[in-house]
A = this chain, B = another copy of it.
Amino acid sequence: MHIELKDIAKVLKENDNFYILTHKSPDGDTLGSAFALCFALQKMNKNAKVLCSDVIPAKYSFLYENLKLQNFKPEYIISVDVAETQLLGDNLICYKDKVDLAIDHHLLNQKFAKLWYIDSKSAATAEIIYELIKNLKVSLDLNIANCIYTGISTDTGCFKNANTSAQSHRIAASMIDLGVDNFKIDKIMFDTKSKTKLNLEKIALDSLEFYYDDKCAIISLTNEEINKFNVCESDFDGFSAIPRQVEGVLIGIFIKEVVPGEFKVSVRTDESIDASKICAYFNGGGHRCAAGCTVYGTLFEVKNKLVNIIKRFVG
């Protein structure tokens, strides 16, 4: 059932012992949202804890370094930025039927929770959490501000993606007023590349192919190419954006062979084309300009499947 923000505040005040679930392969928004809410609940003298199925990448450690680690039996379970239960990941899937409240900004949230608040107009779930914390009458501090800023900044691609609104900027300004070192955070999130990443970029650029009068561009990395390096997930940050950035390209695709024969496909589109509709053909989903899916086969077959579907969108 849908619930209003002010009613969420009431529910949270009435409950205690919160588990806050993030999505697997955690990003700045799911983590920023979860830790911001956790800090706020702890400030209300509640027990609260953030859970993630995967190891949290070290670059996000500043988000939770001041958080109290509390052990307790969960009584109320909240998911943040989790569009469907499958995204909880192997270690949290046990909670899939137990989520009391889902807070999310994904239009296609599967409404798996008992209560949900979904605002797809928010550029980041962190924007919703910001409003919620105001409703909770918890005073914002630097810990919370760092989390909110990181969520917004990462989910808007540092205020560059189509979802970036006046409100995104306005909240960012308030967080900087609270002492957030925005330059430092954005440098960690966007402006730091490992040497491995640079090497992978070179390989990916070499794979660039164009289709349909250059309206579609594809780059790829095979499992073999990836395994030449000691990679971590963040080495692939930003790769999805590369093909769409080429002048005139309406659909940019990054294909990554995660295990032999299984390809993770990221689709980025111009506003005129709905990326989530392309990915829906392969049981994937996402947002209008950024979506993803998994396709199986050889690289050649995967490209063929994609290119055949894309024909319908650049006709």
- Which residues of A (156-173) have their CB < 8 Å from a CB of B? 158-162, 164-167, 169-170, 172-173
Does A209 make an interface contact (CB < 8 A)? no
Residues of B close to A166: CB separation below 8 A: 172-174, 176-177
Q: Which residues of B contact A169 (CB under 8 A)?
A: 159, 169-170, 172-173, 176
Q: How many copies does the complex hold?
A: 2
Partner of A245, one of B164, B170, B191, B202: B191
Q: Which B residues are CB-close (under 8 A) to A195?
A: 246-247
Write the nearest CB–CB distance from A213 to chain B, whole angstroms.
13
The number of chain A residues with a CB under 8 A from chain B is 38
CB contacts (< 8 Å) of A161 on chain B: these are 183
Verify B172–A160 contact, CB threshold 8 A: no
Q: Mark A197-215, 1 if CB is under 8 A from B, else 0.
A: 0100110011010000000
Chain B residues closer than 8 Å to A198, beta-carbon distance = 205, 208, 246
Residue A193 at the B interface, CB < 8 A?
Answer: yes
Could you tell me the distance between the alpha carbons of A245 and B205 in the complex, rounded to whole angstroms?
A: 18
Known pairs A159-B186, A166-B172. 20 more at Cβ < 8 A?
A158-B158, A158-B159, A158-B160, A159-B169, A160-B186, A160-B187, A162-B183, A166-B173, A166-B174, A169-B172, A170-B173, A173-B173, A183-B271, A191-B244, A192-B246, A192-B247, A193-B246, A195-B246, A198-B208, A202-B206
